[in-house]
Structure 1
Amino acid sequence: MTNSSPTWDPQQYLRHAGHRARPFADLLARVSDPPRDPARVADLGCGPGNLTAVLAERWPAAHITGYDNSPEMLERAAAHAGPTAGGGRLDFARADLTRWTPPETYDLIASNATLQWVPGHADAFPGLVDALVPGGTFAFQVPGNFEAPSHVLMRELADSAPWRDRLAGVLRHADAVLTPTAYLERLTALGCTVDAWETTYAHLLTGDDPVLDWVKGTGLRPVLTALADDPRARDAFTTTYRDLLREAYPATPHGTVLPFRRIFVVAGKPA
């Protein structure tokens, strides 16, 4: 879902599954039940499928499809596919969200920490709202931490010698997402009723170099992919970046605190 098409590692991503699941739970807490029963639900950027399964727990009669472009993630997600407890169905399909067009109408289109990988994703909002049935909901959450040390240090290192030529254009910048207000304005202009907010989580991480371990599952993937054919260079970049993170996120007797800002939007289409 990025220009650099990063390779994903489901096992690495799921190492912090509990922390990563919290924002999706907070998002769904503001989502009303779909207008149809059984409902049709799309999960854009489903990853390893563990949170798509949460949608099936919330609406067990629904037909829910998780979409992702990573073969590695979809392979892991397949374990969650099949009939659901309330007579619904959970399945997965490969889709590149930079070009995806909704193939049908949905009661709920949800997306968790994915749209930041799609350049110009807000331009797709009219098509997504059109794909909602009357009374349907478009709900998403994106990281809002691109100015945090974890990202700034990564970009600065990638832009320095000897990495500049190999990593030019690989990493995202702060304009990867909009502000809550900008999202609200975009979606209210399409006739939606919008609830938009932001939250900064203070994740307490444990273990050795836990912030590096966290970004290896997400933000660092484009770098790891770009340097995958040169393990020595990959390890050299990672070691330097690790040392920078140790200074920016010092360990405490109780663990390492990772502040993480996230942006939430729940847009309802008029019934």
Structure 2
Amino acid sequence: MSRENGVRWDPAQYGVFGGARARPFAELVARLGDAAPARVADLGCGTGELTATLAARWPGARIDALDSSPDMIREARRHEIPGRLSFRVADVTTWKPDAPVDLIVSNAVLHWVPEHPDLLPRWIDALAPGGRLAFQVPGNFDAPSHVLLRELGRSDRWRAKLGHLQLDAPVLDPAGYLDLLARHGCAVDAWETTYAQVLHGEDPVLEWVKGTALRPVLMALDPDEAGEFLAAYRERLRQAYPAAPYGTVFPFRRIFVIATRNTT
């Protein structure tokens, strides 16, 4: 999980709902079918657990995994396999391989890169003929969790410190990505899935967002301000996502794309 906005990320907090966060990655990779890539790049690898599944799936592949967060890479290096799977700190926006790759995977990264529609054609150009780019991004920016966060961040109380952090729509829809990449000569499979997730624990939606969208907000505030902001946001989330006897339902839309470079 690459973070290209200078935010410090907490691997432990991100991993609180690790199973739910891993499912879209597994479903994206499953859609690749019987692919057998020799050179793979995982751009925004996070703590490496999911990258390690690629090494297990393709034991003959050499995998270069990178993330801009030193904390994430420190955790990821526990999964290194000499000569097969390596992790390093690097910026996905400036990444360029030393030779064409067969597969680029990017999981829940591109919504942190505002300029990524311009970046994606460069990634396609880094593929070998017939190579594939596979990525997924959250598509839930119209969900209450994010609408409430934007509204609070843009309120009179917080606008000066947080208003610039509140982006309305940092990703395209499936048709938008299809059009972008098809115009660049790719065959494109693009789709979306909404997961009706059931979360458990006290204020689980807040705990989920603490691992992602809230990170830049909390970094911009001092501890007292952060406590004030979280208290206000918590109350709004409790109303938007009421707890049920079986847990708290947190619907989550995700957008998936697999683009195959032409062979000529």
How does the TM-score come out when normalised to structure 2? 0.95
Query: SS at the partner of 1:76?
Result: helix
Contact 2:45 2:107 in 1 (8 A): yes
Q: SS in structure 2 opposite 1:233?
A: helix
Shift of 1:3: 6.8
What SS does structure 1 have at the residue aligned with 2:184?
coil
Paired residue for 1:27? Answer: 28
**Is the alpha carbon distance of 1:100 and 1:169 closer, same or farther for their aligned partners in structure 2, counting shifts above 3 Å?**
farther
Identity %: 58
Aligned counterparts, 1:1-271, within 5 A: 4-34=5-35, 36=37, 39-83=38-82, 89-174=84-169, 176-227=170-221, 230-271=222-263
Instruction: Classify the secondary structure of the residue corresponding to 1:222.
Output: helix
Tell me the secondary structure at the aligned position of residue 126 of structure 1.
helix
- Secondary structure at the counterpart of residue 259 of structure 2: strand
Aligned positions, number: 262
SS of residue in 2 equivalent to 1:100 = coil
- Shifted more, 253-262 versus 153-162: the winner is 153-162
CA distance in 2, matches of 1:35, 1:189: 26
Question: Aligned equivalents of 2:253 and 2:94: distance in 1?
Answer: 28
- What secondary structure sits across from 1:129 in the alignment? helix
Q: Give the letter for the 1:58 counterpart.
A: R
Q: Aligned pair in 2 of structure 1 residues 149, 103: CA closer, same or farther (>3 Å)?
A: farther
Alignment partners' CA distance in 2, 1:61 and 1:265? 24
Report the aligned-residue RMSD.
1.5
Q: Deviations over 1:216-243 (max 9, x none)?
A: 001111101111xx10101110111011
| Local SS of the residue matching 2:164 | coil
Aligned partners of 2:3 and 2:67 also within 8 Å: no
What displacement does 1:35 show? 5.7
Alpha-carbon distance, 1:2 to partner: 5.9
1:238-262, Cα deviation, whole Å (9 max, x unpaired): 1110111000000000000000000
Retained in 1: the 8 A contact 2:133–2:259? yes
Which one-letter code corresponds to 2:211 in the other structure? G
CA distance in 1, matches of 2:178, 2:56: 29
> Which amino acid in 1 is paired with 2:135?
F
How far off its partner does 1:124 sit?
1.4
Shift of 1:10: 0.1
Normalised to the residue count of structure 1, the TM-score between the two structures is 0.93
Segments of 5+ residues of structure 2 without an aligned counterpart are none
The DSSP-based 3-state class of the residue aligned with 2:118 is helix
Give how far 1:32 is off.
3.9
Unaligned runs of 5+ in 1: none
